[in-house]
Amino acid sequence: MNDPLPTRASLAVLMVIHLLMLFALYTLTAPHPPVAIPLFALAPFLSAFTAIAAATWIMAERPIAVPLSILTALLAAVSLGPHKYFDPAFSGIWPAVLTGQVAIVALMTQAVRALSARRTPKALPA
Protein backbone atom coordinates (compact mmCIF):
# COMPACT_ATOMS: atom_id res chain seq x y z
CA MET A 1 0.00 0.00 0.00
CA ASN A 2 1.23 3.50 -0.74
CA ASP A 3 0.63 5.47 2.45
CA PRO A 4 -0.10 3.26 5.47
CA LEU A 5 -1.38 6.09 7.69
CA PRO A 6 -4.98 6.24 6.37
CA THR A 7 -5.13 2.45 6.56
CA ARG A 8 -3.86 2.45 10.12
CA ALA A 9 -6.24 5.25 11.11
CA SER A 10 -9.19 3.25 9.78
CA LEU A 11 -7.95 0.13 11.52
CA ALA A 12 -7.58 2.03 14.80
CA VAL A 13 -11.19 3.23 14.58
CA LEU A 14 -12.49 -0.27 13.84
CA MET A 15 -10.38 -1.95 16.53
CA VAL A 16 -11.50 0.51 19.20
CA ILE A 17 -15.16 0.06 18.27
CA HIS A 18 -14.88 -3.74 18.27
CA LEU A 19 -12.89 -3.89 21.51
CA LEU A 20 -15.47 -1.66 23.21
CA MET A 21 -18.27 -3.89 21.85
CA LEU A 22 -16.45 -6.88 23.32
CA PHE A 23 -16.03 -5.08 26.65
CA ALA A 24 -19.73 -4.11 26.66
CA LEU A 25 -20.66 -7.71 25.88
CA TYR A 26 -18.54 -9.12 28.71
CA THR A 27 -19.81 -6.57 31.23
CA LEU A 28 -23.38 -6.60 29.84
CA THR A 29 -23.26 -2.80 29.62
CA ALA A 30 -26.19 -1.58 27.54
CA PRO A 31 -26.35 -1.34 24.64
CA HIS A 32 -24.26 -4.45 24.18
CA PRO A 33 -24.17 -6.90 21.29
CA PRO A 34 -26.14 -10.12 21.66
CA VAL A 35 -24.19 -13.01 23.12
CA ALA A 36 -24.83 -15.05 19.99
CA ILE A 37 -26.34 -14.64 16.55
CA PRO A 38 -27.64 -17.49 14.37
CA LEU A 39 -24.23 -18.04 12.75
CA PHE A 40 -21.87 -17.88 15.75
CA ALA A 41 -21.19 -16.57 19.24
CA LEU A 42 -20.23 -12.92 19.07
CA ALA A 43 -17.30 -12.78 21.52
CA PRO A 44 -15.07 -15.10 19.43
CA PHE A 45 -16.02 -13.17 16.29
CA LEU A 46 -15.14 -9.81 17.86
CA SER A 47 -11.86 -11.27 19.11
CA ALA A 48 -11.01 -12.74 15.70
CA PHE A 49 -11.86 -9.44 14.02
CA THR A 50 -9.55 -7.56 16.38
CA ALA A 51 -6.73 -10.04 15.77
CA ILE A 52 -7.07 -9.76 11.98
CA ALA A 53 -7.24 -5.96 12.19
CA ALA A 54 -4.08 -5.94 14.34
CA ALA A 55 -2.30 -8.16 11.82
CA THR A 56 -3.39 -5.80 9.04
CA TRP A 57 -1.98 -2.86 11.03
CA ILE A 58 1.36 -4.62 11.44
CA MET A 59 1.53 -5.57 7.75
CA ALA A 60 0.24 -2.20 6.46
CA GLU A 61 3.38 -1.46 4.48
CA ARG A 62 3.56 -4.85 2.79
CA PRO A 63 1.65 -6.14 -0.25
CA ILE A 64 -0.32 -8.59 1.94
CA ALA A 65 -2.02 -5.55 3.51
CA VAL A 66 -4.37 -5.22 0.53
CA PRO A 67 -6.17 -8.57 0.94
CA LEU A 68 -6.00 -8.23 4.72
CA SER A 69 -7.59 -4.78 4.49
CA ILE A 70 -10.39 -6.11 2.32
CA LEU A 71 -10.97 -9.01 4.72
CA THR A 72 -10.95 -6.64 7.70
CA ALA A 73 -13.46 -4.31 6.02
CA LEU A 74 -15.79 -7.20 5.14
CA LEU A 75 -15.63 -8.55 8.69
CA ALA A 76 -16.28 -5.07 10.10
CA ALA A 77 -19.36 -4.83 7.89
CA VAL A 78 -20.79 -7.87 9.70
CA SER A 79 -20.86 -5.77 12.88
CA LEU A 80 -21.35 -2.30 11.45
CA GLY A 81 -22.91 -2.69 8.01
CA PRO A 82 -26.06 -1.04 6.65
CA HIS A 83 -28.22 -3.77 8.20
CA LYS A 84 -27.63 -2.01 11.53
CA TYR A 85 -30.00 0.79 10.44
CA PHE A 86 -32.81 -1.72 11.04
CA ASP A 87 -31.48 -2.93 14.39
CA PRO A 88 -33.87 -2.11 17.27
CA ALA A 89 -30.86 -0.80 19.23
CA PHE A 90 -29.83 1.62 16.45
CA SER A 91 -30.84 4.71 18.43
CA GLY A 92 -28.21 3.79 21.02
CA ILE A 93 -25.47 2.54 18.70
CA TRP A 94 -25.65 4.89 15.72
CA PRO A 95 -22.45 6.82 16.57
CA ALA A 96 -20.40 3.62 16.47
CA VAL A 97 -22.20 2.35 13.36
CA LEU A 98 -21.71 5.54 11.35
CA THR A 99 -18.11 6.02 12.51
CA GLY A 100 -17.37 2.40 11.68
CA GLN A 101 -18.92 2.72 8.24
CA VAL A 102 -16.73 5.72 7.46
CA ALA A 103 -13.68 3.70 8.54
CA ILE A 104 -14.81 0.74 6.40
CA VAL A 105 -15.16 2.98 3.33
CA ALA A 106 -11.75 4.56 3.99
CA LEU A 107 -10.14 1.14 4.40
CA MET A 108 -11.68 -0.18 1.17
CA THR A 109 -10.71 3.01 -0.68
CA GLN A 110 -7.10 2.56 0.40
CA ALA A 111 -7.15 -1.08 -0.71
CA VAL A 112 -8.62 -0.19 -4.13
CA ARG A 113 -6.02 2.56 -4.59
CA ALA A 114 -3.24 0.15 -3.72
CA LEU A 115 -4.61 -2.42 -6.18
CA SER A 116 -4.88 0.13 -8.98
CA ALA A 117 -1.35 1.39 -8.27
CA ARG A 118 -0.07 -2.17 -8.65
CA ARG A 119 -1.80 -2.56 -12.01
CA THR A 120 -0.70 0.77 -13.44
CA PRO A 121 2.24 0.10 -15.74
CA LYS A 122 5.37 1.99 -14.85
CA ALA A 123 6.82 4.22 -17.55
CA LEU A 124 10.14 3.10 -18.94
CA PRO A 125 13.00 5.59 -18.69
CA ALA A 126 13.76 7.42 -21.94
In this predicted model, what pLDDT tens digit does every residue of 55-84 receive, in sequence order? 999 999 999 999 999 999 999 999 999 999
Render pLDDT for 79-122 as a digit per residue (tens, 0 to 9). 999 999 999 999 999 999 999 999 999 999 999 998 888 776 66
What is residue 55's DSSP assignment?
H
32-38, Cβ contacts within 8 angstroms, sequence gap of 24 or more:
33/79
- On whether the pTM is more than 0.85, the answer is yes
Per-residue pLDDT tens digits for 17-44: 999 999 998 998 888 778 877 778 888 9
Nearest in space to 69 (alpha carbons), one of 82, 60, 80:
60
